[in-house]
């Protein structure tokens, strides 16, 4: 018999800073959407809440998540996150979650695990640091394919940054607050977006999904870097996709925090 996770309800907020015009009503409607898209990384932040309540730091230290964004969430909609534990055995725990709204029964899906043992390590030597490009080149398939190493975004997740982030995503849990609190898992995925948009210039673009493995987690006060490379490029339904292979590290010497496979639609077909 499956075990039900706590249900989480939250009013969605469009947390975009404005550069990506898919988060603008007029642009989104020209591309066939009902209105401006709430960023996928924000929807993911909402979806982690039942996991944090049910499993706490165990999931933040060594858990995994694979999230796929199916249909848009719009600003002001109530998002309902529900889920169940589908397996619990000697190898660990597996859970599936869905984010829904009154208009859309399945906006995003997420499969999470908490392995019983320690996470499989990543060889950090395979991920180099590089300067972010200035100016940023245009996002083309040829340019992505030419990159051996992505420019490295950096973030200082101090107490002020933590407070600003949890307020932005309406996060109520004290787990993420104050000195020594945990870096919010949604912020980690947001660094995946920074690896995309700080390396190239784009028109309207969409975060399609991410698979993340937590490799120890990070705490408030730490300085984070996101190293990465292009893993694959492909086209589907006239949309151009890039998949990035990323690691997030903290401190000096660098300590692994998370491994991300981060997929984005960097070029949409022209509006009809």
The confidence score (pLDDT) of residue 95 equals 98
**What number is the average pLDDT over the span 103-111?**
98
The confidence score (pLDDT) of residue 257 equals 97
The confidence score (pLDDT) of residue 271 equals 87
Is 272 part of any domain? no
Q: Prior bond to 71 cis, omega within 30?
A: no
CATH number of the structural domain spanning residue 226: 3.10.129.10
Is 253 part of any domain? yes
Which tens digit of pLDDT belongs to each residue from 124-181?
A: 999 999 999 999 999 999 999 999 999 999 999 999 999 999 999 999 999 999 998 9
Q: CA distances (Å), 92 to each of 89, 118, 122, 206, in order?
A: 6, 11, 20, 33
The confidence score (pLDDT) of residue 17 equals 82
**What number is the average pLDDT over the span 7-12?**
98
**How many domains, in total, are found in the chain?**
1
Backbone angles phi, psi at 215, to 5 degrees: -120, 40
pLDDT band at 272 (very low <50, low <70, confident <90, very high): confident
Only one residue has tokens 């101090």, namely 158
Is 34 part of any domain? yes
Is 232 part of any domain? yes
Find out whether 58 and 51 touch, Cβ atoms under 8 Å.
no
Which domain, by its residues, includes 155? 3-267
The confidence score (pLDDT) of residue 146 equals 98
* Tokens (6 digits) for 68: 């796929």
The confidence score (pLDDT) of residue 5 equals 98
**What number is the average pLDDT over the span 44-70?**
97
Mean pLDDT over each residue of the chain, to the nearest integer? 96
The confidence score (pLDDT) of residue 120 equals 84
pLDDT exceeds 80 at position 261: yes
Whole-model pTM: value is 0.97
Distance CA 101, CA 149 (A): 39
> Who's near 147: CB < 8 A, 6+ residues apart?
199, 229, 230
């Amino acid at each position: 018999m499956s075990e039900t996770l706590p249900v989480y309800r939250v009013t969605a907020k469009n947390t975009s800073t404005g550069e990506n015009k898919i988060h603008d009503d007029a642009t989104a409607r020209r591309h066939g959407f009902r209105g401006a898209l709430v960023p996928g990384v924000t929807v993911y932040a909402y979806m982690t809440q039942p996991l944090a309540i049910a499993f706490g730091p165990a999931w933040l230290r060594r858990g995994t998540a694979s999230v796929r964004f199916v249909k848009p969430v719009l600003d002001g909609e109530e998002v309902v996150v529900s889920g169940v534990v589908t397996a619990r055995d000697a190898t660990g725990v597996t859970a599936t979650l869905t984010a829904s709204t009154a208009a859309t029964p399945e906006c995003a899906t997420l499969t999470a695990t908490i392995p019983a043992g320690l996470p499989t390590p990543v060889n950090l030597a395979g991920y180099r640091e590089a300067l972010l490009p200035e100016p940023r080149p245009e996002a083309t398939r040829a340019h992505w394919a030419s990159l051996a190493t992505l420019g490295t975004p950096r973030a200082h997740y101090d107490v002020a940054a933590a407070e600003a982030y949890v307020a932005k995503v309406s996060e109520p849990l004290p787990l993420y607050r104050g000195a020594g609190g945990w870096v919010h898992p949604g912020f980690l995925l947001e660094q995946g977006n920074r690896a995309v948009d700080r390396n190239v210039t784009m028109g309207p673009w969409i975060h399609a999904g991410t698979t993340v493995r937590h490799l120890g987690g990070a705490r408030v006060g730490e300085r984070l870097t996101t190293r990465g490379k292009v893993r694959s490029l492909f086209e589907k339904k006239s949309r151009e996709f890039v998949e990035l292979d990323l690691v997030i590290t903290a401190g000096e010497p660098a300590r692994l925090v998370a491994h991300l496979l981060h997929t984005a639609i960097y070029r949409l077909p022209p509006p009809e």
